[in-house]
Amino acid sequence: MSVRNHDKNLSRKQRLQEKQRRQLAVVDTVDKAEAKVRKAEVELAGAVTEAVQVFGDEQSASEGLDMPVEAIRRFLAMARDEAAGVADADADAS
């Protein structure tokens, strides 16, 4: 009987380990996808910043890009934050 209980415990342990392995794999996949999204948002923020410069102001860029002014402002803020973060990193490296 004790052998049978040992097999059940081992089997439960193996099932738990497999479940944990799958959970970690999913977390890793989500982390990688979030990093890709962040990179794409930063690129988009740069493009929106350039569009505002080309169109002349936020409202004109909003109309030209068919994007709400609130989204334009959010991307402009993101671009400023990114630029500030790069400037801070450069200052720390010096």
Q: What is the SS3 assignment for 27?
A: helix
Percent with pLDDT over 70 in the chain: 86
For residue range 76-92, what is the model confidence (pLDDT) as tens digits?
999 999 988 876 777 77
Percent with pLDDT over 90 in the chain: 72
What's the confidence (pLDDT) of residue 6?
59
Amino acid residing at 88: D
The answer to whether 40 and 82 are in contact (CB under 8 A) is no
Residues 77/81/82/85 CA torsion (nearest 10 deg): 170
Per-residue pLDDT at 37 exceeds 90: yes
Give the distance, in angstroms, between the CA of residue 67 and the centroid of all CA atoms in the same chain: 21
What's the confidence (pLDDT) of residue 7?
60
- What mean pLDDT value characterizes the chain? 90
- Reading the block at residue 69, the tokens are 């002014």
The answer to whether 61 and 55 are in contact (CB under 8 A) is yes
Q: Provide the sign of the torsion angle of the four alpha carbons 36, 32, 35, 64, taken in this order.
A: positive
Q: Distance between the two ends of the chain, CA-based, in angstroms?
A: 69
CA distance 55 to 11: 65
Mean pLDDT of the 34-63 span? 97
Per-residue pLDDT at 94 exceeds 60: yes
